Amino acid sequence: MSDAADDLRAEVRGWLAENVPADWRERQAGDDIEGFLASQRDWLRRLVSAGYATPHWPQPWPGGGRSLAEQVAIFEEIARADAPRMSLFFVSLYHAAMTLVECGTEAQKQRHLPAILKGEIWCQGFSEPNAGSDLASLRCRAERRGDRYIVTGQKIWSTLGQFADWCLLLVRTDNSGPKQAGITFLLMDMKSKGVEARPIRQITGDEEFAELFLDEVEIPVENLVGEENQGWRVAQTTLSSERGLTLVELTERMGRSLWRLVGLVTADGTEPDRIDDEARRRIIDISARIEGLRAMIATLMARRIAGNEAVGDASIIKLAYARILRDFGALGLKLRGAAAQRETRYVLGAGYETSNWMFDFMNSYQWNIAGGANEIQRNIISERVLMMPREKLA
């Protein structure tokens, strides 16, 4: 790590010690949607003011122009301080902002980037009921009529889409060629006539996602990003915008939550050296696997900084995180025992380490899909790392 990153780490650590709201989990507890929104907006304001919300943005934006090593330092320190996750504004700060920076017009940048810093909320309209892992199969249709696109279709699994002001929308404008060739990238105002966002209540009781229904929605041509029928290329910028930093933060949070597992077996005052051998073995196993994942992420980031990332590294890390997170939650659920069945309180947008073990365990399964479905990641590893041939079906 560079001297600049080390100095920044100390600076961020000191700032967090003074600024992380002590009661943020209470403010985001359960179904208190208004508390969640207010808490997230307050935290965004603090981070923007300090220059820690947008280190990945270019200069002269607040805190912009940071190196990848400095960005890693910020993410790690935010996780270590158990600060709130920026779940409400993640798409805004990363996917929307970097798509605009890389591919947007000057007018689009000037309209939306300042608004994002002030709390404009974005969602993604990519996946559809029959176009998830195979995103290029999307069927949401857009027809150009004069200076408008008329959009009709359906999107699903739009993270916090029910709260969004704007949407990054992929639509089909041409069916004549390869699937990827007929996709166009648009910016959609969520207040437009014909847009309906329906929250999806999950098994956990949370409503982290929404389904979007679009009925003859009019989108000005000026909201086109890139060229018509070239949206697939723009979408790759969107999907790569956070560059793996999410797993830097989430892995660090999981590692810092090991005390929650230990607390389950020492809650009755039992001394650590008298913990049941099986419980000790399982906790140590999880701890070792988290340390291994940390080492893999450190190697990945070092390679990215040096410009020689290996093919398949990100896929391997995503698979490892998904499996460890699930086992982490399952162990907590087992150690908590029957009492876990009676727990209902959780923290909106907190992540996967709330200490409501039933909630954390069920919530962990979304990482079988999030960040790229596990099956797709295994295909990438098989074909591009192990160089295994693709089987031809008879």
Residue numbers annotated as active site: 242
Alpha carbon distance 297, 177 (integer Å): 39
User: Per-residue b/e over 271-285, b at no fewer than 16 CB within 10 Å?
Assistant: eeeebeeebeebbee
Tokens 């679009």 found at: 214
Backbone angles phi, psi at 268, to 5 degrees: -90, 10
